Structure 1
Amino acid sequence: MRYSTQVKPISYLKANAAEVLLNLAEKREPLVITQNGEAKAVIQDVASFEQTQETLALLKLLALGTRDMEAGRTKPARAVVERLRAKASDR
């Protein structure tokens, strides 16, 4: 996606807020808002924002897992499963 096609001045946003919101929901592409010719903000629909946040959370988990592996903080899967089964049977 090329953000250069999705750049509007803040005055456009002020004058066309309802239309901008409809376009965000339909196209699901972020919109760059400029002020005095300089990019100042990016707006996007809520569904895309939530998806981005979920993706970032998964990437963070992967990075933490990779860090744990590199540091040798791992356990065999069999040992983990056995421990979980033992806890479940205690209940």
Structure 2
Amino acid sequence: MRYSSQVKSISYLKANAADVLTQLAEQREPMVITQNGEAKAVIQDVASYEQTQETLALLKILALGSQEIEAGKVKPVADVVGRLRAKRAAE
């Protein structure tokens, strides 16, 4: 993804805030905000932000799972299924 087309100055943001929000919602691409010619912030629409957070959460779960596998904290699926069936039968 290239952000070069989505770079705007802080003064542009101030003068066109409503248009910027509409553009963010329609294009669903983040926008880089500059101040004195330097990138200072990235803004994005709420739906994209929520999607990013969900993706990060899933990646974290996968990383934790990989760490547990490497640490040997796994059990054969047959043992787990047997234990769950025994628990269900006891209820």
Please give the per-residue CA displacement for 1:35-60, whole angstroms capped at 9, x wherever unaligned.
11111100000110010000000101
Between the two proteins, what is the percent identity of the paired residues?
75
What TM-score comes out, normalization by structure 1 length? 0.92
**Paired positions, count:** 91
Q: For residues 18 and 90 of structure 1, do their structure 2 counterparts lie closer, same or farther at Cα, with a shift above 3 Å needed?
A: farther
Cα separation, 2, equivalents of 1:66 and 1:40: 35
Separation in structure 1 between the aligned mates of residue 39 and residue 74 of structure 2, nearest angstrom: 45
Q: Is 1:69 paired with 2:69?
A: yes
Moved more, 46-55 or 74-83: 74-83
Provide closer, same or farther for how the CA distance between residues 75 and 16 of structure 1 changes in structure 2, counting only shifts above 3 A: same
List 4+ stretches of structure 1 deviating above 6 A: none
For structure 1, the 5+ residue unaligned runs are none
State the secondary structure of the residue aligned to 1:75: coil
Further displaced range: 81-90 or 49-58: 81-90
Give the structure 1 partner of residue 79 of structure 2: 79
In structure 2, the gaps of 5 or more residues are none
Q: What is the distance in 2 between the residues matched to 1:58 and 1:71?
A: 20
TM-score by length of 2: 0.92
1:86 Cα deviation from its structure 2 partner: 3.3
RMSD in angstroms over aligned alpha carbons? 1.2
